[in-house]
Structure 1
């Protein structure tokens, strides 16, 4: 599966900045071990040791080219492809010292972003056919938000707000400070008329208030199953503009399908970017094994 046209990565400048910071952390004043190697031409291959959705090629490439501008990288798979354990993802030709110096940093990006894409794909697969969309959250690894949100898109998911600046999201504390949900919504529409407006509700009464005052999406947080179904019924019966419902809180893969089948529009899941178990990849010098 590949959908390269639908998930443009962050800008080259952003990718380069990510790599510069990561290489700075790893290399410091220089790779003292790689300096022991003869600086000769060599080859390497990138091996995936488990089933995964491939993600992170722009960062992998930028990392190796930062240390060896003449490195040749031949990708055998596309970004977003689903691969099985034992797949050789890419082969490289470059300077031996640069290949080993870039190894860990390039793998860190590939392993982390492929993990995010792989987990997202599992959630997307679980709701397929229901019409529900899978959304990410702001629960990302510090410094890697744009990269991880890109990985969510590669896995077939959708991005929630990028940060606190691109969507107004009224939650419990905002509503309390404003005096009421209606007052908070009016203030948001007045101050930020051009931004999307999402309102979190904790009761069915708040849901009806949010429907009446109007917004772009309503987040029903931690509703039990019967209350969630009633929320869907109330929203569907609302006579005004249709407002999508988003579910958040207490969502796991086992219960995901049932939530989607209740008729909600979106399900936001912090685990896509927060609970990351790196995909098992390795970069080995030399030619790939026969049949790899």
Structure 2
């Protein structure tokens, strides 16, 4: 398995994560308890029903401390597995694998938690024609990984950062003097993708006229969303955002919006219950 993700340095991530765990003294428990030449075989398994994510990153942790470790993938990222499913079998130096265990598991648990929650939202809007978007509500330093996890769960990535599109929100509008002036300034700056947040239907026409290429319909109830979608009439994509939950997302998606964005899929996803257990050879 070889994991590659644009803009993400896997080697640096693994090294920094292990350094944080090892400190200056290293794994004192394994060094004291486990013979230096002891071998170890273990199986990573899920105790929950999950959408799997992060297995190749976990493998990188094990290989970082034992280059000869044998990794046998049983599942792959994106697989939906039942409770009790085996995900990976790993064999190698016991000290090395036990030292890497927590870093590997933390990563898989966190990313699988995001992918699993994302998949629940995606399933909830199936058949509506709307697409689920993630947001920038991510843990600092982990955005690339967390957005990889939302893609694994079936969502589409929204902006990766502040650099890849303009997103004019309420504070920008307040300073610029309105949605029209704000969008016009962004267009004059040569920005191709201009997302404008509107919270009232009377902001739609000036935003589009000034150059908005995407409208974020903020905290609008379904009846207002339908009105907004009708006013836009397909001229630009529409995105419903704000306070979206599993209970409300289908009704929102059925209003005809192009996208629904949900911060909860990264901000509030619980870690999946995934473990690594000794296996008899």
Once residues 207 and 266 of structure 2 are traced to their aligned partners in structure 1, the CA distance between those partners, rounded to angstroms, is 29
Provide the secondary structure at the position in 2 that maps to 1:254: coil
Once residues 228 and 219 of structure 1 are traced to their aligned partners in structure 2, the CA distance between those partners, rounded to angstroms, is 11
| 8 Å CA contact 1:79, 1:154 repeated in 2 | yes
Match of 1:41 in 2: 39
Provide the secondary structure at the position in 1 that maps to 2:132: strand
Is residue 254 of structure 2 the alignment partner of residue 261 of structure 1? yes
Once residues 176 and 17 of structure 2 are traced to their aligned partners in structure 1, the CA distance between those partners, rounded to angstroms, is 42
Number of equivalences: 276
> Residues 256 and 279 (structure 1 numbering): CA distance in 2 closer, same or farther, change over 3 Å?
same
Is residue 229 of structure 2 the alignment partner of residue 232 of structure 1? yes
Once residues 273 and 52 of structure 1 are traced to their aligned partners in structure 2, the CA distance between those partners, rounded to angstroms, is 15
Provide the secondary structure at the position in 2 that maps to 1:200: strand
Is residue 11 of structure 2 the alignment partner of residue 19 of structure 1? no
**Superposition map of 1:210-221 within 5 A:** 210-221=207-218
Once residues 29 and 6 of structure 2 are traced to their aligned partners in structure 1, the CA distance between those partners, rounded to angstroms, is 33
- 1:103 CA drift (Å): 0.6
Once residues 96 and 9 of structure 2 are traced to their aligned partners in structure 1, the CA distance between those partners, rounded to angstroms, is 22
- 1:192 CA drift (Å): 3.5
Once residues 263 and 54 of structure 1 are traced to their aligned partners in structure 2, the CA distance between those partners, rounded to angstroms, is 31
Match of 2:274 in 1: 281
Is residue 115 of structure 2 the alignment partner of residue 131 of structure 1? no
Structure 1, 149-158 or 220-229: larger mean CA deviation: 220-229
Match of 2:199 in 1: 202
| 8 Å CA contact 1:45, 1:287 repeated in 2 | no
* 1:90-147 CA distance string (max 9 Å, x none): 1111000011101100000000000000011111111111110101111111211100
Q: Where do 5+ consecutive residues of structure 2 fail to align?
A: none
Q: Alpha carbon RMSD of aligned pairs, Å?
A: 1.5
The TM-score, its normalising length taken from structure 1, stands at 0.91
Provide the secondary structure at the position in 1 that maps to 2:14: helix
| 8 Å CA contact 1:171, 1:199 repeated in 2 | yes
| 8 Å CA contact 1:9, 1:150 repeated in 2 | no
**Superposition map of 1:126-165 within 5 A:** 126-165=124-163
| 8 Å CA contact 1:9, 1:147 repeated in 2 | no
| 8 Å CA contact 2:53, 2:112 repeated in 1 | yes
Provide the secondary structure at the position in 1 that maps to 2:9: helix
Q: Where do 5+ consecutive residues of structure 1 fail to align?
A: 1-7
Once residues 158 and 4 of structure 2 are traced to their aligned partners in structure 1, the CA distance between those partners, rounded to angstroms, is 16
Is residue 243 of structure 2 the alignment partner of residue 250 of structure 1? yes
Once residues 7 and 194 of structure 2 are traced to their aligned partners in structure 1, the CA distance between those partners, rounded to angstroms, is 30
| 8 Å CA contact 2:194, 2:211 repeated in 1 | no
Provide the secondary structure at the position in 2 that maps to 1:42: strand
Provide the secondary structure at the position in 2 that maps to 1:253: coil
